[in-house]
Structure 1
Amino acid sequence: MSADRPAPSPGPILVVNPNSSQSVTDGLSRALERFRVPGGPAIECLTIAEGPPGIITQRHVEEAGLRLADLAERRPDASAFVIACYSDPGIDLVRSVTAAPVYGIQEAGVLSALARADRIGVIAVAATSIPRHLRYLRRMGVESRLAGELALDGLSVAESGHGEAAFAQLADRGERLKALGAGAVVLGCAGMAAQRARLEKRLGLPVVDPTQAAVAMALGGILAAAA
């Protein structure tokens, strides 16, 4: 490439919400606004409309993985993919069908929290998701650094991201995790993004929104490659 010819613009980072809640996707987009930097890649937040309202069961996870892989094959223009579901559905499958880097928000959120604290806590949206999350931590080899994971009670994915009732539960779970020895807290659902800053101020601990963590990794990789 000629020295005086500008480098081509990188393709977009695709942040994909595999559930059908457009309000969750809209919340993700708002939480990622500061990552849309001049000269950086576009950040597109997409909803898989065929998905369930929330990725809760193992069947939801398996079906979401197939839909995500289909989307990745349709978007060869993407510089990176972010799977915006805390179960990281289909991450190995999606990595097998695209040359672009693929980031799961559980993996990224946990690694980001571990960079800031020796032991971490996680707040899940539903108790039924916790065993699946723990299996993933064992796969990552970091389960021994988990102080605990606690779930919200009776809230949907969309409801977890706004309102005083949801925040009260988040604050309660965060304080309990802090008492268990957590030095940082990971929000274990993409829908909680809008509550991050307020919860961090309340707890006095780092609170990691995993989608922001994954996009930060994707953006850093793209900018480093262009340097």
Structure 2
Amino acid sequence: MTAKGPILVINPNSDVAVTEALSRAVEPFRLGGGPAIECLTIAESPLGIMTQRDVYEAALRTADLAKARPDASAIVIACYSQPGLDLLRTETRRPVVGMQDAGVLAAMGLADRFGVIAVAEGSIPRHLANLARMGVMSRLAGEVAPARALTVAESGDPSASFDLLREAGTKLKQMGAGAIILGCAGMSPQRGILEEALGIPVVDATQAAVAQALGRVLVGG
């Protein structure tokens, strides 16, 4: 069997700690005999992709990084705003998976209605715009942000934000969500403890995206 190139998991921000957390989150997908999974940081980016300008600038950097790695068999964009997703799909025939799209599809496979915990209130409008593009608004129970905006680093630190994320998740359950998506790649370290606390499935969208990319690579798609 021809060896498969690595799956690139691109963190479009410059926070190396977030990239390291992503690498731990996708460890279960590093299969013996399967493709390598590389988690990469874009050093030129800000610490978080928080504004629409950040998204546009990160899109170009993400596309440049992917172009520089023709050896990769698939590309995962590990940011819930999915910077560069449409651009990359015009520039490569390799599978390109955005974590928001993958997280939503995974959540809809687990429950009739899903909710999303955003990292900050300002991120919600662009997330909703993408859900409208996907045609899944009727399945959305709601998207809420914690009581105060979090940095990407805080979002993955239980001592800094677990209570805030649990409060947001509880509100989503009350709104009818049967599954919850973590709407920031930095939240990956808290998936398990949030799921235990809330009593419903909690989806790490980066894991969902890597699972989708890995499936396509293994079947030759």
TM category (shorter chain) comes to over 0.9
TM-score by structure 1 length?
Answer: 0.95
**1:165 Cα deviation after fit:** 3.3
Name the residue aligned to 1:67: 61
TM-score, normalising length: structure 2: 0.97
The corresponding residue for 2:169 is: 174
Shift of 1:32: 0.8
Runs of 4+ off more than 6 Å: none
Residue aligning to 2:83: 89
Paired letter, 2:201: P
Q: Deviations over 1:110-140 (max 9, x none)?
A: 1100111111000000100000000000000
Q: CA deviation at 1:163?
A: 2.5
* Inter-partner Cα distance in structure 1 for 2:202 and 2:55: 25
Matching residue of 2:156: 161
Residue of structure 2 aligned with 1:21, choices 15, 22, 27: 15
Whether contact under 8 Å (2:121, 2:149) holds in the other structure is no
Gaps of 5+ in 2: none
Shift, 1:185, TM fit: 0.0
Is 1:48 the counterpart of 2:42? The answer is yes
Aligned with 2:98 (options 97, 100, 104) = 104
Matches within 5 A, 1:32-43: 32-43=26-37
Q: Which has the larger radius of gyration?
A: 1
CA contact under 8 A between 1:76 and 1:98: conserved in structure 2?
no
* Mapped pair 1:122 → 2:123: no
Greater CA drift, 93-102 or 204-213: 93-102
Alpha-carbon distance between aligned partners in 1 of 2:72 and 2:63, rounded to the nearest angstrom: 13
Unaligned regions of 5+ residues in structure 1, if any?
1-6
Q: Which residue among 189, 193, 210 is the counterpart of 2:188? A: 193
- Asked if 1:222 is matched to 2:221, the reply is no
Corresponding pairs, count: 220
Given that 1:13 and 1:218 are in contact with CA atoms closer than 8 Å, whether structure 2 keeps it comes out as yes
Counterpart of 1:48, as a letter, is I
Identity across the alignment (%):
64
CA distance in 2, matches of 1:128, 1:224: 39
3-state SS in 2 of match to 1:211: helix
